[in-house]
Structure 1
Amino acid sequence: MRAQRGLILLLLLLAVFCSTAVSLKCYHCLDPVVSSCNMNSTCSPTQDTCLYAVSGMQVYQQCWKRSDCHTEVIMNLLEVAKVKFRCCQFNLCNKSEGSLGKTALLGTTVLVAILNLCFLSHL
């Protein structure tokens, strides 16, 4: 009985994670003056990653393809000579640099709590 509950919980978690991958949301702002980006968009099925890139004063936050997360490709597609960037794959993860640490810490804490519940249900 406990094994069945654990399996059901695992399947539920997989369904949640799979459904979020289909409808990834990313911040979508291309404004070098505004430091806080609050606009977001739902990515198309071909865009499986959020991009945060900076080139000079220009900041790019948008949906992106994981296979295009390489310096040369980003510089070419954004038509910039120099770029610092990061790609991530969970909802709204392409926030400005200052808030990334808090988001990652919160996500890790939630994931650990979920995994602990899974293991406790097997005892």
Structure 2
Amino acid sequence: MRRNPVIPFAIIAVLGIVAMIIVSAAGINQREAIQNEEENGGAKQEEQASGGDPEELFQAKCASCHGGDLSGGVGPNLQKVGSKYSADEIKEIILNGKGSQMPAGLYTGEDATKLAEWLAKKK
């Protein structure tokens, strides 16, 4: 008795379609949860990062480019940035960016000041 060679491919196709439906349904639920979170105060993460410890501020928005240990990566090494720039110069860079890779306005006001003073101590 000979088997039809198309059946394994048909089974794989059906399983793939079922998997796509399941993943799509999960995505719809996530989208609704995100929308509900935004409507009910989506700035919670921003509030947690704001006004905190300078190290927490750094980890929240800077570590992805400058490395969690300030060793650099996409952005430059900041382990001894205080020997190169003053706190005011660092704050100016935080506020206005530098070059094409460092975006402006990641932090403003008191958060920028705290972060600049913390980085200026790195010598």
TM-score of the two chains, using structure 1 as the length reference: 0.27
Choose between structure 1 and 2: higher strand proportion. Answer: 1
Larger Rg belongs to = 2
Question: Which structure shows the bigger proportion of residues in helix conformation?
Answer: 2
TM-score normalised to structure 2 length = 0.27
Which is bigger in relative contact order (C-alpha 8 A, separation at least 6)? Answer: 1
